[in-house]
Structure 1
Amino acid sequence: MRFYLTTHKRHWVRLTDKPLFLKSEHFVKAVKLNPARGPYAVDSGGFSELQRHGCWTRSARQYVDDLRRIWECVGPFDWAAPQDWMCEPIMIHGGTVGGQHFVGTHLSIAEHQHRTVANYLELRELAPDLPIVPVLQGWELPDYERCLTLYERAGVDLTREPTVGLGSVCRRQATREAVAIVTTLAGYGARLHGFGFKTIGLERVGHLMASADSAAWSYHARRRPPMHGHTHKNCANCLPYALRWRTRVLDRIPQWQQPALDTAA
């Protein structure tokens, strides 16, 4: 299981060989890109797009062009997420949660799933050479199973994909419902990536996933004094803190399902 640190600090790719997870937009805004020292994966930024606009503002062609520039300048990435459509109720209906406003797509879960699968197929046609992964979207377990069927009907065998993203679970990744979703989908043979999985979720289902990412280290750091010897107000943007947090998270996973802690972890 590969555990990625999620960060908006794109220059970290040249500072560490630990796996990183970054939004494509953070690379796109850069005039100069740094070659990566270690593995990294690319997030499409779908959560922010749908939260702010209720739709995608970048075409599939624009996204592919962005990914090609990243690939050529930063180096080959492990994989990139598609322009998928999250299925959380707040994303669909809109509203405000935790101070964050969501405009809402006002579409159905089924429509979000159809658009997710259609986008993956379009991206695969536009860029068959890039490792863009399929993502399963839904809210309840039967939704995810229907999404899996949509891929099957489109000729995509998810059991043959090296990575299959699992969407709309991060805010409830430690719940019994989420555990059932991960367990069932892994049982179908999908090599799942858990978007935004935190410590408790990894302890419960980390052994069932091929990979996961988390930005929880920054949330923790904002609520604590800086590390000894650090002069900034807190370590919310601090690589040493993030790496130490990553080690602590992996150490908390039971040894029988412990991911390796080497540079390929």
Structure 2
Amino acid sequence: MTGPLFYLGTHEPHWLWTAEVPLFVSYRRLSRRPNRRLYPATVPRWALDSGGFTYLKDYGHWPVSAGEYAAAVRRYRDHIGRLDFAAPQDWMCEPEVIAGGWRGRLYFVGTGLSVLEHQRRTVANYLELRQMAPDLPWIPVLQGWTLDEYLRCAAMYADAGVDLAALPLVGLGSVCRRQSTTEIRDIVTVFARRGLTLHAFGVKTLGLDLYSEQIGSADSLAWSEAAKWEPPTAGHKHKNCANCLPWALGWRDRLLTRLHTNLTARATGPTQGELFDALDPEGSHAA
């Protein structure tokens, strides 16, 4: 009982050549690195985040064209290698992304669009990237806010001829700030029962505790926020360890140990599948 494949999120693209664990790296950060400094990675594998949340937060639209993005992903695949998948330029559906305003310390300009329009643009971008660069490892992403909206997004992919259950991985978007809720657990359960192998973006540790056995992979940068508020590790000269590889690796080890323990304990107990029939009566037989 090993749990999902876990990608350690990082702000530091150079970890691709220094870390020894799977990484989740943002396009926004990696795009700042000159092409002459793109060479074969030493990490066992990695995945590319599009940086869409920050782009939409800051601009209210995508300032990078699909062609520019696809060209960059091809460079990363060819020069860095070991790329498992690249997220598309999807449109997140958090209320603040759409309406704008403050959420804690973050200000969102707002797109002014509807959830439905965000879903349409998400599906359209995946189709465009797949047609433009079919050799690259794109994954589709389900966007929405409520279960019904996620189901509508899945239907939009089906209408476009995309069989999500037949694909190796499908992203589940707009959940990072709700990862530890039973609402997200229920959404994950519905799509897992439909045969989808899900990637949970920006997962929190409590989220993994709730539904890790129902997803294929996950990523998290939660370690960085935690390290920001703690004193630096003894002997470290930086102000805090928010961008510190040893601190991140220690956090990862503790997380995976706890996850393995919890999964092993649950494997010996009763299953809960029947509890979710009422959420999705069609279950895995749905189109």
Extract unaligned runs of 5+ from structure 1: 259-265
**Matching residue of 1:36:** 41
How many residue pairs match? The answer is 258
Mark the runs of 5 or more structure 2 residues left unpaired by the alignment.
Answer: 265-287
Name the structure 1 match of 2:107: 101
Q: For residue 228 of structure 1, what is the aligned residue in structure 2?
A: 234
Q: Partner of 2:56 in structure 1?
A: 50
Equivalence for 1:23: 26
C-alpha contact (below 8 Å) 1:13/1:34 kept by paired residues: no
Q: How far apart, CA to CA, are the structure 1 residues paired with 2:259 and 2:123?
A: 33
CA distance in structure 2 between the aligned counterparts of 1:112 and 1:185, rounded to whole angstroms: 20
8 Å Cα contact 1:5-1:20 kept in structure 2:
yes
Shift of 1:229: 2.3
Shift of 1:132: 0.5
Tell me which residue corresponds to 1:117. Answer: 123
1:153-201 per-residue CA deviation (whole Å, 9 max, x = no partner) reads 1111111111100000110111111111111111111110000101100
Q: TM-score, normalised by structure 1?
A: 0.95
SS of the residue 1:145 aligns to = helix
Amino acid in structure 2 at the alignment position of 1:36 = A
Which letter maps to 1:30? Answer: R
Report the residue type matching 2:175 in the other structure.
V
Report the secondary structure of 1:213's partner residue. strand
Contact kept, 8 Å, 1:195 with 1:212, in 2: the verdict is yes
Contact persistence 1:159–1:191 (CA under 8 A)? yes
What percentage of aligned pairs have identical amino acids? 53
Structure 1 residue 86 corresponds to structure 2 residue 92: yes
Distance 1:239 1:254 in 2: 22
Pairwise CA distance, 1:103: 0.7
- Give the alignment's Cα RMSD to 1 decimal: 1.1
Deviation at 1:256, TM superposition (A): 6.2
SS at match of 2:242: coil
- Deviation above 6 Å: which 4+ runs of structure 1? none
2:5 is the alignment partner of 1:2: yes
Greater Rg, structure 1 or structure 2? 2
1:257, CA displacement in angstroms? Answer: 2.8
SS, match of residue 62 in structure 2: coil
Alignment partner of 1:63 out of 62, 69, 73: 69
Q: Does 1:168 align with 2:174?
A: yes
TM-score (normalizing by structure 2): 0.87
Match of 1:14 among 13, 17, 27: 17
Partners in 1 of 2:107 and 2:171 — Cα distance?
25
SS, match of residue 162 in structure 1: coil
Pick which of 24-33 and 211-220 moved more.
24-33
CA distance in 2 between counterparts of 1:183 and 1:254 reads 20
CA distance in 1, matches of 2:55, 2:152: 24
Whichever residue aligns with residue 215 of structure 2, its letter is M
1:228-265 deviation digits (Å, cap 9, x = unpaired): 2222221111101101101111122253636xxxxxxx
Judge conservation of contact 2:209–2:262 (CA < 8 Å) in 1.
Answer: no
